[in-house]
Amino acid sequence: MKNLILFENYTVDTIKLKDVPDHKFEDGWGFVENIINTGFLAYNSGGQKDLGAGDVLNLNMMDKLEEIYKVDPAIVMRLQANYINKARKVTKEDFKDLDQVIIVNHNLDSVTIIKKKKKQDGETR
């Protein structure tokens, strides 16, 4: 099931990792930020193929994650600072046990945020 949360002209998709289209991983670059247990993937939404990590994401737009999508500023700063040095080809498998996965297109006007549900008191996995 897909829940859409609208912020002005922006949409945040809240879905399961298995539902993210494979082409976003094939056309994108990402990394796992272990300190904050977060995966980050930037993908090309313009139809061009074989772009490098620096061409897939407009780092100047990363503030949108904080301003529009309400991602913790410390997380945004860490992702922005580490993207160029850590970005590599990733798969869904790389992101499967993380607390949070953030998937963005080039200008961050399409953002998918996947958060692991926290266990309720008395709940077992």
What's the token pair of residue 94? 């790389």
Which residue bears the tokens 């772009």? 51
d(CA 79, CA 56): 15
Q: Is residue 18 part of a domain?
A: yes
Give the list of residues 6+ apart from residue 23 with CB closer than 8 angstroms, or none. Answer: 43
pLDDT tens digits in sequence order for the chain, 125 residues long = 344 444 434 445 557 888 899 999 999 999 999 999 999 999 987 777 788 998 999 999 999 999 999 999 999 999 999 999 999 999 999 998 899 999 999 999 889 999 887 665 555 44
Task: Provide the domain count of the chain.
Answer: 1
Q: Is residue 75 part of a domain?
A: yes
C-alpha distance from residue 23 to each of 20, 38, 40, 44, 118 (Å): 9, 20, 15, 9, 29
Query: Domain of 46?
Result: 3-115
pTM given for the model = 0.83
d(CA 89, CA 109): 22
